[in-house]
Chains A and B, each alone.
Chain A
Amino acid sequence: MTVYLVDEDGTDDFTGLFVGHYQQLLRLAVLFLGDVPAAEDVVQEAFIRVHGAVHRRRIEDPVAYLRQTVVNLSRSDLRRTLIARKHAPRAMPDAASAEDDAHSALARHEVIRALRSIPARQREAVVLRYWADLPESEVARLMGVSVGTVKGYTSRALARLGQVLGESA
């Protein structure tokens, strides 16, 4: 029973947006970040940002706005995580390290591990291009780079992923 999909004030634009796109955006953020709680935070923040604007009809294409926000927030979240990891105190054996494994089912997935081994920009490019199935021009717009750069990213990413997954096969 998916009670959480029903808005108590009746279905409105925002509820429709949530029902239609939340899950897909959550999965997109999971592929970027490799971590479900972090992805939930990112997607929730994107929806909060779009919430007021949708009600005031200030956004022409809320889905594009949401997708762009998820891409941007995932990037800054990843940066924050890397900085935090750099400055973090050494993990205790049964405290912080256990935390990292809380979502081990996902982390154990071979392709998720492979994705984490390639540079973040290449990861963004292949996920948006091949999983989200967006045209190269849209991927380029979302990433703020040229179509040629996207082609370069995806080509290098496929080569590296072939290598990583080939080795682990």
Chain B
Amino acid sequence: MVTQNMEKMKVVYERSQAMTDASTFYCPGCTHGVAYRLIAEVLEEMDIAKKSIGVASVGCSAFTYNYIDVDFVGAPHGRAPAMATGLKRAVPESVVFTYQGDGDMISIGAGEIVAAAGRGENITVIFLNNANYGMTGGQMAPTTLPGQKTTSSPYGRDVEKMGYPIKASELLATQEGASYIVRRSMHDAKNIRKAKKAIRMAFETQVRGLGFSMVELLSTCPTNWHMKPVDAAEWVEEKMIPYYPLGDYKVHPIINELKV
């Protein structure tokens, strides 16, 4: 054990005020916890936590409200963008964001998310893509990779029978109403820093009234991938990124010029 003389030291990184003190219920190494922290940090830095309303969805994301310390509602599976729309239209001065997984957003929720993006709904969507249905034990999701084994594709995803994965960022970026659609990853520190910047830009899009914003975050699911957390992070880099390239799919010109 190393004991340091901390008298001359200052804090350079600590838990955000916009996070609760709760210990998460997530599996060790699951990057949900990273995403929450980034959202909380952005809300705190922009000083908008006090007017924020989060919309939790269904899946491992259902308990988001235990960790981010703002007003929250819980939506039925897939319906978070519609609930967020109701909230934002009722209280336009609030900052409304949804937190959704891949099954929630792009399987059962495909109708709602396309409609929200098409409308240019002034909300922010944080989309966790971990290539499976985590909460229910690791079934195939629309984002499961070709050949990937899950509990409902035990021989590996056969694209002939089960189709190809859906690329949500590319899909939604084709919509006129979408103003900030980017894909980032959380598999290492460098990418986590970029993810935070993207989340910041997404909320800047909202507070400036510029339209629909979404950040797709490639995430790990060590338990259902049957991997150690460190190996799961590598799998994101080696297997997921080639299929889901990181990048900016739609950026409103004003956001493009923005320096924060």
A and B interact physically: no
**A interface with B by C-beta (< 8 Å):** none
**B interface with A by C-beta (< 8 Å):** none
